[in-house]
A and B are shown apart, each in its own frame.
Chain A
Amino acid sequence: MTIEGWTLILLFTALTIALAKPVGVFLFALYEGRSTPLHPVLGPVERGFYRLAGVRPDAEQSWRAYALHMLLFQLVLTVFTYALLRLQAVLPLNPRGLAAVGPDGAMNTAIAFVTNTNWQWYAGEGTLSNLSQMVALTIHNFLSAATGIAIAFALFRGFARREAGTIGNFWADCTRVTLYLLLPACVIYALFLVASGVPQTLASSIDATTLEGAKQTLILGPVASQEAIKMLGTNGGGFFNANSAHPFENPTALTNLVQMLSIFAIGSGLTWCFGKAVGNTRQGWAILAAMMVLFLTGAGIAYWQEAAGNPVLHNLGVAGGNMEGKEVRFGIAASALFSVVTTAASCGAVNAMHDSFTALGGVIPLFNMQLGEIVVGGVGAGIYGFLLFALLAVFIAGLMVGRTPEYVGKKIEAREVKLAVLAIAVLPLCILGFTAISAVLPAGLAGPLNKGPHGFTEILYAYSSGTGNNGSAFAGLTAGTPFYNGLLGIAMWIGRFFMIVPALAIAGSLAAKKYTPETAGSFPTTGPLWIGLLVAIILIVGGLTFLPGLALGPIADHLAMISGRLF
């Protein structure tokens, strides 16, 4: 470990915290439907869209209507994407003449992008036409991110409103987030990337002469535009298979830092926005603080393990940390940090191969996803997932102050507990359940490349990534089979919508409740005690469930490595 490495991690943390308020202020304006500096320019566009679609943005929806409209929208998008992928061979903008995507693959990809997972069982440049990349996929990078933020807004309204029957309008939330936040930010972001050397072209490839004088064909495409939203919208699906390890996606140390920051930017801003929405920004800071405690712990362990390297190699005389699967350009700290950031949020972009991490270094990304990616988390998804845990923590420990548990002025009762537990139970159900199926069926056993606990980790990682809507791959797993495409597709769908619908139901239930003013007798949900409690509940309830799986996967792997055995 080096000073530079730790400086990077701490600098990154400080910048993330610094972003919370400015981004949060802008998000809060969108949350309230208030005017932003962009409204004079984009306002007519917004209104034009509403007229075109016949949407009345001020028509408030009950949670049921909100959920129904959201689900129908997602369903239509899924079918549209599926159709486009199946038909890409006969559609334009297919310069490499790629064939249609198979049914299981197309289904998997459609779900992966609609759910903000961006799980990629294929190598993007060799499977998808430019049209598929730009229309079928990039569109979701925006819409799935906007949907996540819309759901977060709806849940915030549930906490903030008093005796109300509605939680906002899905179409208005989605449109505003896309139009005023994601699109403008991505234009600027993409320009920055282009300036840093990321290609943005419709040309399919370029021939380069290497130093040895050989000819090499480099694939090009509209990379910068996809790259921007891939990070900002925590989508993670890269243009290239190597993702952010590819020099055309992530050319410099600066782009690397900006990419990591852009993964956390909106998630961090949403914590502030939540605090503001419920009338006490300290509530938001407390959540961000708990997230940062979990994040720094994870980043610290990952960096420590990666820097410590592999004792088996040390014995062979190879000194230093673990550089396998890492870009020399980024080194250990930036790679370990990136891996923790991308899995803490539900991004899934990678700048190093997680499969090649040391066993315990790889545990952190895995564990982050199993917690439900609530450490800052995916845009929207992180905060609503985190709030479910907050409700649980309030309920378990809140009684200890001698009152019916309350959170930000709302009493937490049977209905909320039921829905929160239901949503949280989805994680172990899909992650452990599907891993269990895959670990015994021949079709599942055919997947992992490696043997022993490492192979097991590959399976576990895939379902953790899918259910958590992360999309990062551990590599090593041959996932492009009908078996994995199917099960992972189901895992992604359940992991997304079996969280969202209960979250919206909670929003509806909370919105209808009276507000209970905070008194000296109220359970304190700001301050170190609460932060510590939150972290403990998340680790015990959210984390311990996965201990058996982790013990048989990465932990066994690590212990084997210590005793000189590698898989």
Chain B
Amino acid sequence: MTTVSSMFSAKLVVPAIGDAFRKLHPRALVRNPVLFTTAVVALLLTVLLAVGGEPLPLGFQVQLIGWLWLTVLFGTFAEALAEGRGRAQAASLRATKSDLVARLPDGSTIAASALRRGDEVVVETGDLIPADGEVIAGVAAVNEAAITGESAPVIREAGGDRSAVTAGTRVISDAIRVRVTQEPGQGFLDRMIALVEGAERQKTPNEIALTILLVGLTIIFLIAVATIPSFASYAGGHIPVAVLAALLITLIPTTIAALLSAIGIAGMDRLVRFNVLAKSGRAVEAAGDVDVLLLDKTGTITIGDRQASEFRPLAGVQAGVLAQAAMLASLADETPEGRSIVVLAREGFGAAATRLPDDAEIIPFTAQTRISGVKSSAGLIRKGAVDAILRAHPEAASSAAAAELRRIAEDIARSGQTPLAVAQDGRLLGVIALKDVIKAGVRERFSELRRMGIRTVMITGDNPLTAASIAAEAGVDDFLAEATPEDKLALIRKEQQGGKLVAMCGDGTNDAPALAQADVGVAMNTGTQAAREAGNMVDLDSDPTKLIEIVGLGKQLLMTRGALTTFSVANDVAKYFAIIPAMFVVLYPGLGVLNVMKLASPESAILSAIIFNALIIPALVPLALKGVTYRPMGAGPLLARNLAVYGLGGLVAPFVGIKAIDLAVAGLNLV
């Protein structure tokens, strides 16, 4: 959890102050039209002060102008601070990047930055991989801690789904030949640095729309303020430019404008801290809009390994016999499934043997036979898929026992479990039921998602019977059984035609079309280069469950923008009531009744409103950087809550704040 103190640590704040001044450059400032307007007004008043054209007390003018400049600086500071935090994140990445050296196949070495797409390099034990690429020869263990923070090495090999390597990661055994897949400056690491730094940051569609709204409001309020001198002259008076300027600046949405880019950068930064890289800000926004989540069953909904849950002997076979045989067949099986069979046999049936007979000969599992087992003086025990066992025992295939075996197996499948047949010396004994274990808490997650209006679809290679049962148990809304990559793609297209936004994650090359088609495609870092290219996000931890959190982060980003916009607009009511009476009381003394806050004097009222308007920016910086609190709930309650906090809060807060500042201003005799 980021605390406010760490957010404002000197290491970040000091450079941010310098950057805040650098960002005053008109070319940088014009990207933010509201702040630009504020700066122009501040400049105008500064010039007017210099030529002495205003009939106002000097101290009042100086303070007013000072606070206007501070308003601008607070805005540029907020952005600089957000960038600084991103940059700190990037700095460690950049360190690994800076001194990479590439070894070419002919033995010569060049700087990694000189590598072009298509170049081939050789990386040996202990070397850092110089550029993003694809393994074209060899197998190696690679430590990707620099990127993922995970110290256990991963295997990278030519061909297949694990051929992608990332610049800055270290080969810790063997040697591989890598073909570079990125032009210099566009690699993974470069993109990540650019995103968190904000240097190359482009405005996202929603940010652009919001900026247009803010400009529109600025124009409307500009019209409202610019016409006042004429109205005042009708009433036989004159309003000083500085007072008009104060009204304008308090009315235009400086608060949200100042924080807008900080919110965007911070949102991106939160994602990076979460070890997810988005290739664009647009993808993060899309994550908030997602309507349908396609989730792979294994690893996301169920824990990867199945657990033995039951022994189902055939008629005439004692359960203990089946358990004993199943245990013997599994003792040498080091997979979690095999271990779970041993545990169940021992705990459920008190099966005695703890180790294999000395003369035991292990029959290993192969993809061809799909059978494993053990051969010893106790006989030949085999376990495997039901059809595989029956094939291995052709003599029993048409017997009544085989029919019963099939019936039991089907029964088990219908309950969402996987059947595993056991036979001893040619005799069919029964079936072990292997149960998919639903991850703790996923059911609640899915009902949360449902409340948020997000549908979850489970993708699995299981048959429809098993899939339906697991889907029901896990509480997903729908499932796609016996799913092929084409099915996935078709499902995504179908949902999108219905106007839905779809998110999915995937890792294999055959996932690439679906990842590209999905509105939010999260590629696993362990996946192929093709998958990583196709998706618009990459999860460095390769954890498919994160899709749910990514949606949350997207929503949080949008909510933060909305909340601060609403707050900023609602603020205007109080500011009107501070400045309008102060401005017009000289024309019509009766208008003093509009001074509902009973502010001490017109000058103090105007100054207090401007000070509030300036100070609210740094006060809201922590919120902008952390994001508003996000709880999964339906849109109705969410809106009610946020409207109460930021709408009503935005209405009331400035009344209190301006009054308090006015007391201080009057108490200190500042005007």
Q: What string of 1s and 0s marks CB contacts (under 8 Å) between B223-241 and chain A? A: 1111111111111000000
Q: Does the CB pair B209–A522 fall under 8 Å?
A: no
A177 to B587, CA, bound (A): 51
A413 to B451, CA, bound (A): 25
Residue A341 is within 8 A (CB to CB) of chain B in the complex: no
* Residues from chain A with Cβ under 8 Å of B591 in the complex: 551, 555-556, 559
Query: Interface size bucket, A side?
Result: 35 or more
A533 to B229, CA, bound (A): 32
Q: Does the CB pair A418–B216 fall under 8 Å?
A: yes
Q: Does the CB pair A524–B636 fall under 8 Å?
A: yes
Partner of B213, one of A395, A433, A452, A523: A395
* Residues from chain B with Cβ under 8 Å of A418 in the complex: 209, 212, 216
Which among B304-312, B534-542, B558-566 touches the partner chain?
B558-566
Q: What string of 1s and 0s marks CB contacts (under 8 Å) between A515-544 and chain B? A: 111011111100101000100110011001
| Given A401-B559, A421-B216, A521-B453: A548 and B636 interface contact (C-beta under 8 Å) | no
Q: Does the CB pair B588–A556 fall under 8 Å?
A: yes
Residue A435 is within 8 A (CB to CB) of chain B in the complex: yes
Q: Does the CB pair B288–A548 fall under 8 Å?
A: no
| Given A440-B234, A559-B590: A404 and B213 interface contact (C-beta under 8 Å) | no
Q: Does the CB pair B453–A399 fall under 8 Å?
A: no
A516 to B291, CA, bound (A): 9
Residue B556 is within 8 A (CB to CB) of chain A in the complex: yes
Q: Does the CB pair A456–B234 fall under 8 Å?
A: yes
| Given A402-B288, A437-B230: A547 and B580 interface contact (C-beta under 8 Å) | yes
Residue A242 is within 8 A (CB to CB) of chain B in the complex: no
* Residues from chain B with Cβ under 8 Å of A563 in the complex: 590
Q: Does the CB pair B452–A433 fall under 8 Å?
A: no
A456 to B289, CA, bound (A): 50
Residue A187 is within 8 A (CB to CB) of chain B in the complex: no
Residue A425 is within 8 A (CB to CB) of chain B in the complex: yes
* Residues from chain A with Cβ under 8 Å of B573 in the complex: 540, 544
* Residues from chain A with Cβ under 8 Å of B643 in the complex: 397, 400, 529, 533
A537 to B580, CA, bound (A): 20
Question: How close is A381's CB to chain B, nearest CB, in angstroms?
Answer: 20
Residue B640 is within 8 A (CB to CB) of chain A in the complex: yes
Candidate in B216, B451, B455, B591 with the most chain A CB atoms within 10 angstroms: B216
Residue A512 is within 8 A (CB to CB) of chain B in the complex: no
* Residues from chain A with Cβ under 8 Å of B15 in the complex: none
A111 to B208, CA, bound (A): 37
Identify the closest chain B residue to A552 (Cβ): B231
Q: Does the CB pair A453–B227 fall under 8 Å?
A: no
| Given A413-B209, A440-B233: A428 and B220 interface contact (C-beta under 8 Å) | yes
Q: Does the CB pair B452–A520 fall under 8 Å?
A: yes
Q: Does the CB pair A453–B288 fall under 8 Å?
A: no
Q: Does the CB pair A456–B235 fall under 8 Å?
A: yes
Residue B572 is within 8 A (CB to CB) of chain A in the complex: yes
> Which residues of A192-243 are within 8 A (CB) of B?
none
Identify the closest chain B residue to A518 (Cβ): B453
* Residues from chain B with Cβ under 8 Å of A409 in the complex: 499
Q: Does the CB pair B555–A403 fall under 8 Å?
A: yes
Number of A-B contacts (CB under 8 A): 219
Identify the closest chain B residue to A513 (Cβ): B499
Residue B338 is within 8 A (CB to CB) of chain A in the complex: no
Identify the closest chain B residue to A395 (Cβ): B213
Partner of B224, one of A432, A515, A517: A432
* Residues from chain A with Cβ under 8 Å of B291 in the complex: 516-517, 519, 521
Q: Does the CB pair B587–A403 fall under 8 Å?
A: no
Residue A449 is within 8 A (CB to CB) of chain B in the complex: no
Q: Does the CB pair B230–A548 fall under 8 Å?
A: no
Q: Does the CB pair A402–B556 fall under 8 Å?
A: yes
Q: Does the CB pair B639–A524 fall under 8 Å?
A: yes
Candidate in A403, A409, A453, A537 with the most chain B CB atoms within 10 angstroms: A403
Residue A56 is within 8 A (CB to CB) of chain B in the complex: no
Candidate in A428, A440, A537, A563 with the most chain B CB atoms within 10 angstroms: A428
> Which residues of B190-233 are within 8 A (CB) of A?
205-206, 208-210, 212-213, 215-217, 219-221, 223-233
Q: What string of 1s and 0s marks CB contacts (under 8 Å) between B605-627 and chain A? A: 00000000000000000000000
Q: Does the CB pair A545–B221 fall under 8 Å?
A: yes
Question: How close is A135's CB to chain B, nearest CB, in angstroms?
Answer: 39
| Given A541-B217, A559-B588: A401 and B638 interface contact (C-beta under 8 Å) | yes
| Given A417-B213, A556-B590: A540 and B570 interface contact (C-beta under 8 Å) | yes
Residue A296 is within 8 A (CB to CB) of chain B in the complex: no
The B contact surface, by secondary structure, is: helix
Q: What string of 1s and 0s marks CB contacts (under 8 Å) between A382-394 and chain B? A: 0000000000100
* Residues from chain B with Cβ under 8 Å of A551 in the complex: 580, 584, 591, 594
A64 to B232, CA, bound (A): 42
Q: Does the CB pair B562–A399 fall under 8 Å?
A: yes
Q: Does the CB pair A417–B212 fall under 8 Å?
A: yes
Q: Does the CB pair A433–B227 fall under 8 Å?
A: yes
* Residues from chain A with Cβ under 8 Å of B562 in the complex: 396-402
| Given A521-B454, A545-B220, A545-B223: A400 and B588 interface contact (C-beta under 8 Å) | no
A113 to B562, CA, bound (A): 42
* Residues from chain B with Cβ under 8 Å of A89 in the complex: none
* Residues from chain B with Cβ under 8 Å of A425 in the complex: 216, 219-220, 223
Residue B634 is within 8 A (CB to CB) of chain A in the complex: yes
A400 to B628, CA, bound (A): 10
Q: Does the CB pair B570–A403 fall under 8 Å?
A: no
* Residues from chain B with Cβ under 8 Å of A333 in the complex: none
Q: Does the CB pair A397–B288 fall under 8 Å?
A: no
Partner of B230, one of A429, A436, A519, A541: A436
* Residues from chain B with Cβ under 8 Å of A520 in the complex: 450-453, 634-635
Q: Does the CB pair B499–A421 fall under 8 Å?
A: no
Identify the closest chain A residue to B648 (Cβ): A536
| Given A396-B569, A548-B580, A549-B227: A403 and B558 interface contact (C-beta under 8 Å) | yes
* Residues from chain B with Cβ under 8 Å of A545 in the complex: 220-221, 223-224
| Given A397-B566, A399-B559, A439-B233: A519 and B220 interface contact (C-beta under 8 Å) | no
Q: What string of 1s and 0s marks CB contacts (under 8 Å) between B285-302 and chain A? A: 100110100000000000
Residue B94 is within 8 A (CB to CB) of chain A in the complex: no
A343 to B587, CA, bound (A): 29
A519 to B224, CA, bound (A): 39
Q: Does the CB pair B234–A417 fall under 8 Å?
A: no
Residue A562 is within 8 A (CB to CB) of chain B in the complex: yes
Candidate in B213, B563, B591 with the most chain A CB atoms within 10 angstroms: B213
| Given A397-B647, A409-B499: A547 and B634 interface contact (C-beta under 8 Å) | no
A556 to B231, CA, bound (A): 12
Residue A191 is within 8 A (CB to CB) of chain B in the complex: no
Partner of B566, one of A400, A402, A432, A547: A400
Q: Does the CB pair A435–B635 fall under 8 Å?
A: no
Question: How close is B641's CB to chain A, nearest CB, in angstroms?
Answer: 9
A559 to B642, CA, bound (A): 38
A418 to B208, CA, bound (A): 10
Candidate in A162, A398, A424 with the most chain B CB atoms within 10 angstroms: A398
* Residues from chain B with Cβ under 8 Å of A51 in the complex: none
Residue B630 is within 8 A (CB to CB) of chain A in the complex: yes
Identify the closest chain B residue to A514 (Cβ): B499
Residue B498 is within 8 A (CB to CB) of chain A in the complex: yes
Q: Does the CB pair A403–B223 fall under 8 Å?
A: no
> Which residues of A422-452 are within 8 A (CB) of B?
422, 424-425, 428-429, 432-433, 435-437, 439-440, 445, 452
| Given A425-B223, A432-B227, A520-B453: A399 and B558 interface contact (C-beta under 8 Å) | yes
Residue B36 is within 8 A (CB to CB) of chain A in the complex: no
Ordered by A's residue number, 15 sampled pairs between the chains whose C-beta atoms are within 8 Å are A397-B562, A402-B562, A414-B208, A418-B209, A421-B213, A424-B216, A436-B229, A452-B235, A456-B234, A516-B499, A520-B450, A547-B576, A548-B231, A548-B580, A551-B584
5 tightest CB-CB pairs across the interface, nearest first? A399-B562, A521-B453, A402-B555, A421-B216, A559-B590
Beyond the given A424-B216, A556-B588, please list 12 additional residue pairs across the A-B interface where CB-CB is below 8 A. A400-B646, A401-B635, A403-B558, A413-B205, A439-B231, A453-B235, A522-B635, A529-B640, A533-B643, A537-B569, A545-B221, A548-B227
